[in-house]
Structure 1
Amino acid sequence: MNISQRYRMFLPLLLSAAVLISPADSLAQVRTADPAARGVPLSAFPRLVKLSKHVYGYEEIRQPGFTTVSLIVLGKDGVLIADAQGSAAATQTMLDRIRTITTLPIKWYVVGSDHGDHTAGNHVLPTGIMYIVHPTSLAQLKRDSAAATATRPVVVPPMAMTGNVQVVDVGTTEVEVRFLGRAHTGGDLMVHLPKEQILFMSEAYLNRVFPAMRSAYPTEWARTIDAALSLDRVKRFVPGHGFIEKDKRSREELVAFRDAITSVITEATRLKSLGLSADEAAKRANWGAIGSWFLADQQGPVAVRRVWAEIDGQLR
């Protein structure tokens, strides 16, 4: 059964042009990144999820059918965005949806992840905005820019942040952009809103999505999540992929994701000890419960190779 067929099982929702859902709407949903299994039709996306008076999450569907999440903070005189979407069209749609909740200009942009599914549409963002980016991600964007085309340009911020915390006073609340350690990309930035007790984790947190390790630092990733879990004044952890959850459940799911990373490391290490080739190891991997998570078939072999590279000291 393909994705379109699966969605015919669900009655379409009556939606406005700018979908806005309350956090309570997800209380009874099953724990999965699969919209169909969760009972959410594709027609519900993109949608804004109100997290507080001035803060919204933005969920948009990307192929093969799970969400990419952005964070939107409404300031006194402007808007801060953390992560955009994976194409110019998707990012423009996000900007159009933001216009349904405020007429304020976009002033700040946080590069939580430097991967294309979060940055490929950045060239449609307004010019002259302030970019906040980790040095590692800035270096990657420069490399990406060298291979870019006229139809798929890469926006390279003028400079990187210094230190591990940068504070942005947007007028309505204080925003702390934090680097807690290497995780999914190496330049992973998170947005902490102490007043609202929210932490947007970008791709350091993939809710019910199999740990994607193409550019990851597996052992450090688990430690970075532990650092996030130990932060004061955080009740709600917002992922870069997968559904936005309520406070308690968001912590539970983040712990489950941290445990998924450690279980991947354990299984890949076991397979390496057997003297198998990487291809054979990927075929014989037993991922247990997380084997049913989104992208497990695709990301499992990638994870095996990445963990092996870490064991062999090839990650710098």
Structure 2
Amino acid sequence: MRTADPAKRGVPLSAFPRFVKLADNVYGYEEIRQPGFTTVSLVVIGRDGVLIADGQGSPEATQTMVDKIKTLTPLPIKWYIVGSDHGDHTAGNNVLPKGITYVVHPNSLAQLKRDSAAAAERGRAAVIVPSKAMTGNEETINVGTTTVKVLFLGRAHTGGDLMVQLPKEKILFMSEAYLNRVFPAMRSAYPSEWAKTVDAALALKDVDWFIPGHGFIEDRKVSREELVTFRDAINSVIAEVKRLKASGLSVDDAVKQAKWGTLSEWFLADQQGPVAVRKVWEELDGKLK
């Protein structure tokens, strides 16, 4: 069944965390987060070290991932790609080894600095902030066993969304630019740009397996189908908000009257639907910069 709900797919929560082998030395790592769908990380084992794209949402969860990686290889973690700067992917980064190389988009670096300052004001543990950001839209890392391309294809879920392409394996890890059967979460999103960013991912050569940041890792064929479905979901949300705005409603009334059709069955629809209305409304008013 095509859903982000483990119960509906018949996967017990006791199965998590788990690795999904994508290719030799390449794994997806699925861990359960509340309210019960997966957060996905990418693990690439190189000749002399390991590359990770995205962590988990707490020090405990990230430490578990680090410990699980040790069951695959004794090699140290050397690289970390900040696909998403959100806390459900970065909040456990303080348990990662010191001295690793971070790759982060300037927009995400700025957000991590803001998050770190806010945490300090509240007396909480500091957010790990990389020392510098990537300078272009693409960076290549040769890990020894394969070539890893870090891509910025446009603003999407966070504004600093990075993806990881493995051309030889034809894999693209999309982080939170792809939420498989999870309602488009738009708190910090750029709705119309997000849809275009997904189109750019679909147009890439040497990619036929799309790995989400949340939701299940599908097989190659289904992954493309579900990514198209997710792109269509973003566009459907935008179209519904345009309809409501054109009818003369206030944004508060639009939140109450939004109709999502089959999207109402997706994870987080009740929580993220109102957020999406307000964010698309903001974009339509020209307030997103």
Q: TM-score range by the shorter chain?
A: over 0.9
1:77 aligns with 2:48: yes
1:164: which partner in 2? 137
Which residue of the other structure, out of 218, 225, 229, is the alignment partner of 1:252?
Answer: 225
Q: Give the secondary-structure state (helix, strand or coil) at the position aligned to 1:69.
A: strand
1:54: which partner in 2? 25
Q: Is the 8 A contact 1:85 1:118 kept in 2?
A: yes
Q: Using the TM superposition, give the Cα deviation of residue 90 of structure 1 relative to its aligned residue in structure 2, in angstroms.
A: 0.2
Which residue of the other structure, out of 7, 15, 32, is the alignment partner of 2:3?
Answer: 32
Which residue of the other structure, out of 87, 90, 102, is the alignment partner of 2:61?
Answer: 90
Give the TM-score normalised by structure 1.
Answer: 0.90
Q: Using the TM superposition, give the Cα deviation of residue 151 of structure 1 relative to its aligned residue in structure 2, in angstroms.
A: 4.5
Measured in 2, the distance between the counterparts of 1:277 and 1:38 equals: 39
Q: Is the 8 A contact 1:120 1:152 kept in 2?
A: no
Measured in 2, the distance between the counterparts of 1:192 and 1:102 equals: 22
Which residue of the other structure, out of 76, 94, 118, is the alignment partner of 1:147?
Answer: 118
Q: Give the secondary-structure state (helix, strand or coil) at the position aligned to 1:307.
A: helix
Deviation readout 1:188-246 (Å, 9 max, x if unpaired): 00000000000000000000000000000000000000000000000100000000000
Measured in 2, the distance between the counterparts of 1:200 and 1:156 equals: 22
Q: Give the secondary-structure state (helix, strand or coil) at the position aligned to 2:136.
A: coil
Q: Give the secondary-structure state (helix, strand or coil) at the position aligned to 1:51.
A: strand
Measured in 2, the distance between the counterparts of 1:276 and 1:120 equals: 38
Q: Using the TM superposition, give the Cα deviation of residue 247 of structure 1 relative to its aligned residue in structure 2, in angstroms.
A: 0.4
1:209: which partner in 2? 182
Q: Using the TM superposition, give the Cα deviation of residue 277 of structure 1 relative to its aligned residue in structure 2, in angstroms.
A: 2.2
Taking only aligned residues, the RMSD between alpha carbons, in angstroms, comes to: 0.7
Q: Using the TM superposition, give the Cα deviation of residue 304 of structure 1 relative to its aligned residue in structure 2, in angstroms.
A: 0.3
Aligned amino acid, residue 57 of structure 1:
G
Q: Using the TM superposition, give the Cα deviation of residue 152 of structure 1 relative to its aligned residue in structure 2, in angstroms.
A: 2.8
1:276 aligns with 2:249: yes
The count of aligned residue pairs is: 287
* Identity between Structure 1 and Structure 2 (%): 74
Measured in 2, the distance between the counterparts of 1:153 and 1:146 equals: 8
2:260: which partner in 1? 287
Q: Give the secondary-structure state (helix, strand or coil) at the position aligned to 1:250.
A: helix
1:107 aligns with 2:78: yes
Deviation readout 1:51-74 (Å, 9 max, x if unpaired): 000100000000000000000000
Measured in 2, the distance between the counterparts of 1:277 and 1:292 equals: 25
Give the TM-score normalised by structure 2.
Answer: 0.98
Measured in 2, the distance between the counterparts of 1:235 and 1:152 equals: 40
Q: Using the TM superposition, give the Cα deviation of residue 83 of structure 1 relative to its aligned residue in structure 2, in angstroms.
A: 0.1
Measured in 1, the distance between the counterparts of 2:124 and 2:10 equals: 36
2:93: which partner in 1? 122
Aligned amino acid, residue 40 of structure 2:
V
Measured in 2, the distance between the counterparts of 1:76 and 1:147 equals: 38
Aligned amino acid, residue 208 of structure 1:
R
1:133 aligns with 2:104: yes
Q: Using the TM superposition, give the Cα deviation of residue 148 of structure 1 relative to its aligned residue in structure 2, in angstroms.
A: 1.3
Deviation readout 1:246-278 (Å, 9 max, x if unpaired): 000000000000000000000011111122222
Aligned amino acid, residue 265 of structure 2:
S
Unaligned residue ranges in structure 2 (runs of 5+): none
Measured in 1, the distance between the counterparts of 2:67 and 2:87 equals: 20
Q: Using the TM superposition, give the Cα deviation of residue 279 of structure 1 relative to its aligned residue in structure 2, in angstroms.
A: 2.4
Which residue of the other structure, out of 152, 173, 187, is the alignment partner of 1:200?
Answer: 173
Q: Is the 8 A contact 1:134 1:160 kept in 2?
A: yes
Aligned amino acid, residue 73 of structure 2:
T
1:17: which partner in 2? none
